Amino acid sequence: MSYDIKEFDINEGTLIGDIAKRYPFIREFLIELSPKFAKLKNPIVFKAMSSKATIALVSEKSGFEVEDLINKIKNHIKEKSL
């Protein structure tokens, strides 16, 4: 499947749920990125968080800088597009 990162702006206010709707593999990527996200394996927890958690919040919880997290997500989407 091909994904086009250019058509979807990802910034600090973007909801994780919006990214996951467009790029479903992001959920697993976040879980692999930080053990702090292990709870996202639970579909109920993920659903609850996906409508509230912004990139800024995820960044804060994971210990990554906002721009660093955005770049990691964008790079992962690009990798999946190859």
Segments forming the whole domain that contains residue 54: 5-81
Provide the number of structural domains found in the chain. Answer: 1
Average pLDDT value for residue range 46-74: 94
- 81 pLDDT more than 90: no
Which pLDDT score, from 0 to 100, does residue 12 have? 96
Query: What CA–CA distances, in Å, run from 31 to 4, 46, 56, 63, 75?
Result: 22, 11, 17, 14, 16
**Structure token pair of residue 26:** 């992001």
**Structure token pair of residue 80:** 């999946």
For residue range 21-59, what is the model confidence (pLDDT) as tens digits? Answer: 999 999 999 999 998 889 899 999 999 999 999 999 999
Query: What CA–CA distances, in Å, run from 26 to 7, 58, 59?
Result: 16, 13, 14
- 5 pLDDT more than 70: no
- 4 pLDDT more than 60: no
User: 55 Cβ partners below 8 Å, 6+ apart?
Assistant: 10, 11, 12, 13, 14, 16, 66, 69, 70, 73
